[in-house]
Structure 1
Amino acid sequence: MRRPREFDRKTDRIVTVTLDPSTITSINPDEVHEWRIAIYDLVEDNCFAPARVAVGGPFALHLSIIGNYIVLDVRHPETYEPIAAHYLSLTPFRRLIRDYFRIRDSYYESIKIAQPFQIEAVDMARRALHNEAAELLRTRLDNKLEMDLNTARRLFTLICAVQPYASRIDERESKLPSVLFVCSMNSVRSPIAAALARRLYPGRIIARSAGVRSGKADGFVHEVMEEIGIDMSVHTPHTMDELVANRFDLVVTLSPDAPEAVARRGLEMGDEEHWPTADPSQVEGNREAVLSAYRSLRDTLHAQVRQRLEPLVSGGSQSA
């Protein structure tokens, strides 16, 4: 019998959720909308805390999918420093995930054509499924991540929303060309470049970004990338120490401190280039002046990424 944890609702909670754009991929706005609704519901009301750590909350939760595992990566919500990470096998949840979509579709259909008692029956089945999945989730994460039943229900819904769109690419074994973009804090330049690479060559390249040190998410990045249909709210800043892969076909450094940091990291690479790139977060002026600087960076990187990666993706020379 699990002993209930006493949660402090001010600190034992998730305040932001991000998704790894390299392993959870979709350009369908309806699918992205479903993710956002599931994330909103989870963040709106939850009780959550990593077990066996002394760090207090609140927390940020970053999700990625590697092979048959969903990675629950708990971080500090301001600095994004790692706190705890757990690999959760999806195998025990396969039947429940299939039933989730079956019952969800039945529920939507019943709303259109069924009698009230039929809608209630489907709704009862949906609640029972969520309760079963929530208990299994808490059991699998026992003594790792602690949460109440309602939080587990919402987390299961989010897992269902994102897992069908997992790329299932193991970066250590993939034959796709790979590129790493590095800047100071993985907040502006490198994540924009990686997002543009993924947009230009979906399913044809592995594009990663990292920082010399960890930074904070940048609201202006979200805004200017949203203008071209790229959701950057899923981005969590990472450092090079957190990279899964150690070899890249191309490493592009974008800030003055990045080349030395890459050399210290000892990455294996086919080629390395430095693109001197201004940091728009250092621009002073009114809001429009700052946004103009971010847009200029976005458009400049778009042209550079397209020109440089086209031969790499097409199987041509890795050298410019």
Structure 2
Amino acid sequence: MERVLFVCIHNSARSQMAEALLRRLGGGRYEAESAGLEPGVLNPLVVEVLQEIGIDISAKKTQSVESCINSDIKYDYVITVCDGASAERCPVFPGGGKRLHWGFDDPSGFTGTHEERLAKTRQVRDDIQRTIEKWLQ
């Protein structure tokens, strides 16, 4: 089983969605985790858009990239899902896993009504799902 770590800034939105979606789509071939450079609080919009497709992450906690480095787990892939400048801040992981970058918009920066922010977060969820599906091929 290959180990995949998704990294973004706060581990509150994009990396959490990517982890949950790879767990669903990976057919048991991947062990997925996520972490943040500056762990924050789980984004309620993300919880809501994942629940819409039958994935419940409401009990998940955010974790730091440092805790993953210190765990001595070797990752086959470390995939950054934040913007390019933030991805540059991601530390090097021991073990020589392959590094990929998939940039997605950050739901924490979305403005507007709840429905407008929800629609934009759904779009990010769908973009992440399409990217994972393409990668799995």
Note the 1:88-99 alignment, pairs <5 A.
none
Q: Matches of 2:72 and 2:133 in 1, distance apart?
A: 23
Matched with 1:299 is 126
Aligned with residue 11 of structure 2, among 180, 186, 189: 186
Ranges in structure 2 where 5+ consecutive residues have no aligned partner:
none
Q: CA deviation at 1:236?
A: 0.3
* Percent identical residues: 35
Which structure's residues are more often helix, by fraction? 1
Matched with 1:213 is 38
Moved segments of 4+, more than 4 Å: none
One-letter identity of the residue aligned with 2:118 = L
- Give the TM-score normalised by structure 1: 0.40
Q: CA deviation at 1:245?
A: 4.2
Q: Matches of 2:73 and 2:87 in 1, distance apart?
A: 16
> CA offsets per residue over residues 82-111 of structure 1, 9 Å max, x none?
xxxxxxxxxxxxxxxxxxxxxxxxxxxxxx
Q: Matches of 2:64 and 2:4 in 1, distance apart?
A: 15
Q: Does 1:230 align with 2:67?
A: no
Q: Matches of 1:252 and 1:180 in 2, distance apart?
A: 6
One-letter identity of the residue aligned with 1:212 = L
Matched with 1:204 is 29
Q: Matches of 1:210 and 1:183 in 2, distance apart?
A: 7
Greater RCO, 1 or 2 (C-alpha within 8 Å, sep 6+): 2
Give yes or no for contact 1:251–1:269 (8 Å, CA) kept in 2: no
Ranges in structure 1 where 5+ consecutive residues have no aligned partner:
1-175, 312-320
One-letter identity of the residue aligned with 1:268 = G
Taking a change above 3 Å as real, the CA distance of residues 262 and 284 of structure 1, as seen in their structure-2 partners, is same
Note the 1:1-320 alignment, pairs <5 A.
176-243=1-68, 244-255=71-82, 256-263=85-92, 266-308=93-135, 310-311=136-137
Q: CA deviation at 1:282?
A: 0.6
Q: CA deviation at 1:262?
A: 2.4
3-state DSSP class of the match of 2:130?
helix
Q: Matches of 2:73 and 2:94 in 1, distance apart?
A: 5
Q: CA deviation at 1:203?
A: 2.5
Give yes or no for contact 1:212–1:258 (8 Å, CA) kept in 2: no
> CA offsets per residue over residues 43-83 of structure 1, 9 Å max, x none?
xxxxxxxxxxxxxxxxxxxxxxxxxxxxxxxxxxxxxxxxx
- Give the TM-score normalised by structure 2: 0.89
One-letter identity of the residue aligned with 1:239 = S
Aligned length: 133
Q: Matches of 1:202 and 1:231 in 2, distance apart?
A: 18
Taking a change above 3 Å as real, the CA distance of residues 245 and 303 of structure 1, as seen in their structure-2 partners, is farther
